Amino acid sequence: MPFFSALIALAALIAVAVVAGVIWRARDGRRRRGSDAVDLTDLGVTVGRVALVQFSTETCARCPQVRRMLQGIASAHPGVEHVDVDLTHRPDLAARHRVLSTPTTFVISADAALVARFNGAPRRADVEAVLTELPALQEAS
């Protein structure tokens, strides 16, 4: 390939990488609608409490920072617990909850409904906005 054509190909490659990064950043951590029904088997959720269920793996670079953030929210809100589910050796759980990347966070209401789902690193304000919508929590606080 001529020198100049190769330079153009490199510019295109960098542009593709930048666009991929911008799209990823725009989509990461956005709130998605929950599917309501959720199978709580093996998740370790206490029925009757609001749960922030975080799915992690050992190879997840951003899970520790999300863990700290969600633990902070849980300790600031009575009636909310943080549950960390390690999927490293649990492909069955990953498949059941259709988790394709970590961190993924579920907000599960006290009556065991999946009210919100975050793929990627959620913003603290977005998680807290979900909590304020939950009636049980408003009564508790």
Give the footprint of another protein on this chain (CB under 8 A). 1-3, 5-7, 9-10, 13-14, 16-18, 20-21, 24-25, 28, 57-62, 64-65, 68, 86-91, 94-95, 99-102
- Of residues 57 and 113, the one with the C-beta less far from another protein: 57
User: Do 125 and 29 contact (CB within 8 A), yes or no?
Assistant: no
Which residues contact residue 108 at a Cβ distance below 8 angstroms, ignoring those fewer than 6 apart?
38, 40, 45, 50, 51, 52, 53, 114, 115
- Of residues 101 and 138, the one with the C-beta less far from another protein: 101
Name the minimum Å distance from CB 73 to another protein: 18
Name the minimum Å distance from CB 90 to another protein: 6
